[in-house]
Structure 1
């Protein structure tokens, strides 16, 4: 298994992938692992929808209908496997919906990392019609469910390499509220 810090640091979205994709059984194994994200009260407020073959064409029609276009969108055909990321809010007096959405997002990101570690190319895509009625209906979502987007998944052949990302300046993003420290100066984010 890869070193986790190296895996996270090396992660890149792959906009171009080959026609290869993980099998349903391989995907099940990775989803089971991704489901171990932090989940307040164990509500499991998420699910995934696997789109292959003509299901991607159906999504293209739904996207076109949502946009008012006659021609189906070809965007869902950019990868052989799309995994729809669905938030399934649960009734809870303790866990607000935003926290449940964070759990679903965590599952999506974890699955993206696991797919990358398994050698697959992955890109999380959204768009202006991700929550349209047409797309909602095409995915057969319940009324209270909604999409966060799709993971586009396919093979990598080395021809579609990605450049290294710019380093993250952690000092810019990490502040400290130390005991006894005057925290009112110089911290514009509070």
Structure 2
């Protein structure tokens, strides 16, 4: 975890579906109050990324297609699926979906893949929601962009976090 960093420029290689499925199975072990599993992931490869580019431009009122989804060979859409629950509020279910995405990004990084989590105002747009087949109770949290790590990023720079800056006792 200490060496993890976002990799914004990746190569054209990506994990295949079987490798990804194994990593998703591990990431799905995130803490999940009431075991609601309030998440799902969508693989976008090849032409799917071009379709997303068109939906993004449509959401922005532009013609053509955004090239942003072409920045990585694999995009993984992270979807929070809000389940009816008297015990688990919506925000906590969204947090579980975000936790799965983060665990997956750690697993991908550990297996040598470059990953960055991208969002944007269009994640809540109708054209992008329609493309992903989102239901009324689902929210797109963004995409993990996944590809090979360029040689210069294999070692990564380690930035130490000053834990004392973020960790404190309960106020009295």
Query: Normalised by the shorter chain, which TM-score bucket?
Result: over 0.9
Q: Does 1:157 align with 2:172?
A: no
In structure 2, what is the Cα distance between the partners aligned to 1:25 and 1:163? 27
Aligned equivalent of 2:74: 81
CA radius of gyration, larger in: 1
2:84 to 91, 107, 113: 91
Aligned equivalent of 1:3: none
**Displacement over 6 Å in runs of 4+:** none
1:28 to 15, 21, 41: 21
Instruction: Count residues in correspondence.
Output: 172
* Aligned-residue RMSD, C-alpha: 1.3
Q: CA deviation at 1:161?
A: 5.4
1:111 to 99, 104, 109: 104
Aligned equivalent of 2:118: 125
Q: CA deviation at 1:162?
A: 7.3
Q: How does the TM-score come out when normalised to structure 1?
A: 0.87
User: What do the CA deviations read for 1:11-32 (whole angstroms, capped 9, x no partner)?
Assistant: 0111111110000000000000
Q: How does the TM-score come out when normalised to structure 2?
A: 0.96
Contact residue 60 and residue 75 of structure 1 kept, 8 A = yes
Stretches of structure 1 lacking an aligned partner (at least 5 in a row): 1-7, 178-182, 185-190
Aligned equivalent of 1:42: 35
User: What do the CA deviations read for 1:39-88 (whole angstroms, capped 9, x no partner)?
Assistant: 00000000000000000000000000000111210000000000000000
